[in-house]
Amino acid sequence: MEYSYHERCWIWLSFVRGMTPKRFYRALAEAGDAADIYEQPAEFKSAFEPKVYESLMRARSEEPPDEVADQLEKRGVIAITRMGNAYPPRLEHISDPPPTLFVLGSANLELDRPLAVVGTRRASYEGRKTALEFCRELALQGASIVSGLARGIDTFSHTACLDAGGRTVAVLGNGLGSIYPPENAELARRITESGGSLVSELRLDEAPARWTFPARNRLIAGLSDAVLVVEGDRKSGSLITAGYALEEGRDVFAVPGSIYSPLSEGPNSLIQSGAYMALSPWDILETMRWGSRPQSAKAEKTPPALDEKEKKIYDLLKNEAMSFSELEERGGFQAPELNSCLTMMSLRSIIIKLPGNVYRLA
């Protein structure tokens, strides 16, 4: 991609190590133009902390604007500056809007019906199922899914959107020179090849760190019209994303969970504080006026032919997974007969055995 001289200087300044948005804009307010800072850095030395000024001078000799532009071109990365027309309007008024966005894939970040979906990296079976089912339906209804490419809920959300033929954007907490976590490299490839985008405000070689993820979360919220929190404890980064969303006037949705599960503490506390409760994707679609749920309810799945004991087990498992001992106690079974029934129902693919001797309906 071709950049004007002033754009290259802008990109170069945002590429300087330690150059946060606040430092960038403070320096720009004093200089008026990034090109002036590049050409006459001594004139604006007072605008920088000593360590940042040292980084700037090092970058001036080792990574001048043309060198930075070459690095981006070799990696296939597009730089979207705030001074250009491609900068997403939703980010204009967030806290510390990034001076430059680095993008792999589509440079069009003006998304249709963008919804951020976030949650824990250690998703439960229910969290995984929720993310997959919600994001599939949301994508089918034309929503774009924005998330962070992290393990857990982020991964399931991106995947479900892609499988449904939707568009998804991943905002990384590291530079685009590498994919983190590395096991999501194939998912990242699918995102860019399907018309989606990988986005970062960090220089290409910036490694993930504790501070990069909260900063990343403000962009996830900023690129979206609403945020959905699926699972997370009270210290989860997903609550930071929800906090940014509330600050910027975005709607926040949360999927409720058991009061005994630590992974439900975050969503439940958000609902308690006024977030919308999301019991289905249609709760989001209707609230955001992105769609109306079908009037005729889907017919319930016809249960398989069961004998009396199997039906009792089936009914117990309708609402939640249960352990062998819970089924034994609640169903009034003797262990041998319960074991025999569970074995036959598993062989018939009516139920599935989970780790920890827990069972659920297939």
Per-residue pLDDT tens digits for 40-52: 999 999 999 999 9
What is the C-alpha separation between 321 and 332, in angstroms, rounded? 17
What is the C-alpha separation between 276 and 213, in angstroms, rounded? 25
Q: Lowest-pLDDT range, 94-108, 283-297, 326-340?
A: 283-297
> Taking 80 as the threshold, does the pLDDT of residue 289 lie above it?
yes
pLDDT at residue number 354: 82
Per-residue pLDDT tens digits for 133-165: 999 999 999 999 999 999 999 999 999 999 999
Q: Lowest-pLDDT range, 44-48, 278-282, 299-303, 336-340?
A: 299-303
Q: For the chain, what is the mean pLDDT?
A: 93
Phi, psi of 35 (to 5 degrees): -65, -35
Q: Which residues pair with 297 in a beta bridge?
A: none
Query: From the CB of residue 126, how many other CB atoms can be counted at a distance below 10 Å?
Result: 19
Q: Which of 52, 55, 16, 54 is nearest to 34 (CA)?
A: 16
Whole-number Cα distances in Å, 309 to 58, 305, 306, 320 = 76, 12, 8, 18
Strand order in the sheet with 351-354: 322-323, 358-361, 351-354
Q: What is the mean pLDDT of residues 187-208?
A: 97
Q: What is the mean pLDDT of residues 29-58?
A: 96
CA quadruple 36, 40, 46, 50: dihedral positive or negative? positive
pLDDT at residue number 61: 95
Per-residue pLDDT tens digits for 235-279: 888 999 999 999 999 999 999 999 999 999 999 999 999 999 999
- Sorted by where each begins, the domain ranges of the chain are 5-75, 114-287, 308-361
pLDDT at residue number 297: 43
Whether the bond between 181 and the residue before it is cis, its omega within 30 degrees of 0, is yes
pLDDT at residue number 298: 46
Q: Which CATH topology does 308-361 take?
A: Arc Repressor Mutant, subunit A (1.10.10)
> Taking 50 as the threshold, does the pLDDT of residue 299 lie above it?
no
Angle at 9 between CA 5 and CA 15, to 5 degrees: 145
Confidence of residue 56 (pLDDT cuts 50, 70, 90): very high
> Taking 80 as the threshold, does the pLDDT of residue 6 lie above it?
yes
pLDDT at residue number 362: 79
Q: Does domain 114-287 have CATH number 3.40.50.450?
A: yes
Confidence of residue 23 (pLDDT cuts 50, 70, 90): very high
Kindly give, in sequence order, each residue whose CB lies less than 8 Å from that of residue 243, ignoring residues fewer than 6 positions away. Answer: none
